[in-house]
Structure 1
Amino acid sequence: MAEEEAPQTIGEAMGKPSDTTELEALFGVDVEITAVLGTATMPISQILKLGRGAVVELNHGVGDDIEIHANNRIIAMGEVVVIEDRLGVTMTDIIKLTGSATD
């Protein structure tokens, strides 16, 4: 049995055809892309004590892959990179999307 090949683009992950003529009306729609560096859970009492200079330890380590979201839906995994004086994300794995957009 052949293993299913991982999608190479977000379009492939959505099951969209490579001919995108029918989607051209949507090409100008903005989508918010978010790179999630990590999360933390703490009690409100601890949050209320946070101030300038406080450090919140996240659940990801240096070099760990991070989640990339489009409109709050995970679409890929990636790693943080530095581009001149800005941060960026290199996509390392495209997530195969399942279910409806309202999940």
Structure 2
Amino acid sequence: MLAEVDQDDASNDEKSAADLEAVFDVPVRLSVVLGRTRMPVAKLLKMDIGTVVELDRQVGEAIDIYVNDRLVARGEIVLVEGRLGVTMTEIIKAG
């Protein structure tokens, strides 16, 4: 038996893809968290150029990638033409 393709289903798929284009220009805030630390304000105020801040992550450990304060992926720092970048290694499923 042959399955019939419903014309409405096909047009709904196209309409959904076209509707998605409306959000392509919506700005979002992307944050990449290398690590975190806690320190008293007095220590923060004493920081100067070259001060080393110890973070809660190890070298080579995955970094967190947030979109609008929501964790969406993990990744690694990369160097591209002398600039720092991030490559995603894991997408976090919404839960």
User: 1: distance between equivalents of 2:38 and 2:82?
Assistant: 30
Amino acid of the residue matched to residue 43 of structure 1? P
Give the counterpart of 1:55 among 46, 52, 57. Answer: 52
- Paired residue secondary structure (1:52): coil
- The CA deviation at 1:48 is 2.1
Higher relative contact order (Cα pairs below 8 Å, separated by 6+ residues): 1
Give the counterpart of 1:85 among 61, 82, 86. Answer: 82
- The CA deviation at 1:21 is 2.8
1:23 maps onto 2:20 in alignment: yes
1:12 maps to which residue? none
Task: Please give the TM-score of this superposition, normalised by the length of structure 2.
Answer: 0.75
Q: What percentage of residue pairs aligned between the two structures are identical?
A: 48
- Normalized per residue, the structure richer in helix is 2
Q: Specify every segment of 5 or more residues in structure 2 that has no aligned partner in the other structure, as ranges.
A: 1-12
User: 1: distance between equivalents of 2:53 and 2:31?
Assistant: 19
What is the aligned-residue RMSD (CA, Å)?
Answer: 1.7
1:76 maps onto 2:67 in alignment: no
Q: Specify every segment of 5 or more residues in structure 1 that has no aligned partner in the other structure, as ranges.
A: 1-16, 99-103
Amino acid of the residue matched to residue 76 of structure 2? E
Larger Rg: 2
